[in-house]
Amino acid sequence: MLLARALELAERGARTAAPNPLVGCVIARHGTVVAEGFHVRPGERHAEAMALEVAAEGAREATAYVTLEPCAHHGRTPPCADALVAAGVGRVVVLAGDPAPHAAGAGLLRLADAGIPVDVADDDDPLAIAARRQNAGFRTWHLLGRPHVTYKAAQTLDGRTATRAGDSRWISGEASRARVHELRARAGAVLVGAGTALADDPELTARDCVPAAEHQPLRVVWDRGLRLAADARLVRTTDRGPVLVLCAPGADPARRAALEAAGVEVAEAADLAAGLAVLHAREVQSVLCEGGQALAGALLGAGLVDRMLVVTAPKLLGDPEAPGLVGATGTVVARMDEATGLAALACEQVGEDLWIDVWLREPR
């Protein structure tokens, strides 16, 4: 399917396109592909422009299959809707509208005004759902005014995320850990709580990616009391990527000064929603949360988790005192029909582990 191919093409910009959306384009005549394109990074050609350049005169009366509504505004590159009109395409098929207020509907209107038939996929079309998920960060940033939050955790078969002593290396297998590095390479930020930062002393960079990651995520610690030590691995590796600590208003000025002197940025946030607002202001569109059960519970309790990736390894601890997946959410559920519902769920085996992919909120 040509639209499915366009989605595949869009994925090629997954590590580099942000804060722009992922977009893929296929130009075809009578079912035969004439040209393909995708958006690589801000300031470079959009997917439609790349495909049109390759197609040249072959674009005339052809059909353009695009994963996202073509833009109609002048930014760092010219409007794609105008380029499609100028190329003389005969039809445009779009999987998802643009959620940005300055762009929503404008591209479709420009094409229609030029007399070009436009087909937009139904909202419940599986490929349209995939297109919205592909740009979940971009869509959430524009429509909800915060980054899209994915909570990722590894657990044993009996639901434990570490031993009672706090040891969690390694629950998941090598293939799963490699996938996590790829997720980091695609994320705008990686978030942990102070407990995880102290217990695991993580680096949180994207390593061992093939090809090597061009982009390193912003590394964020939710640390109300500024407990992060000045010699922590996160602090010692600021040359490999920025680190931001979100603390409570009025946190210890001396500890703040020590972290800032070491190259760590510190910002105050009254609660998690305010913390996400800080990230939104920095144009962070997607957050991969790798924190422990306390942070997971707080985020879920505040309704701030959009997606969960739960990695279940074929191991047993058999210790009821070992920490579990999610801590207190602030709500006590007495009946099973009061439990949090899920929008969608999928499972995949990765190496020896089972990945459960849960969408609590579908991107609009």
Residues designated as active site:
48
DSSP per-residue letters across 58-90: GGTT-EEEESSPPP-S-SSS--HHHHHHHHT-S
Q: Tell me how far apart the alpha carbons of residues 185 and 21 are, in angstroms, rounded to a whole number.
A: 16
Decide if 24 contacts 7 (C-beta within 8 A): yes
Coil, strand or helix at 341 = coil
Beta pairing, strands 63-66 & 91-94: parallel
DSSP per-residue letters across 176-240: HHHHHHHHHHH-SEEEEEHHHHHHH-------S-SSPPS--PEEEEE-TT----TTSHHHHTGGG
Residue 300: closest CA among 279, 41, 292: 292
The alpha carbon of 68 is separated from its chain's Cα centroid by a whole number of angstroms, namely 17
Residue 278: closest CA among 266, 289, 290: 266
Strand order in the sheet with 118-120: 32-38, 24-29, 63-66, 91-94, 118-120
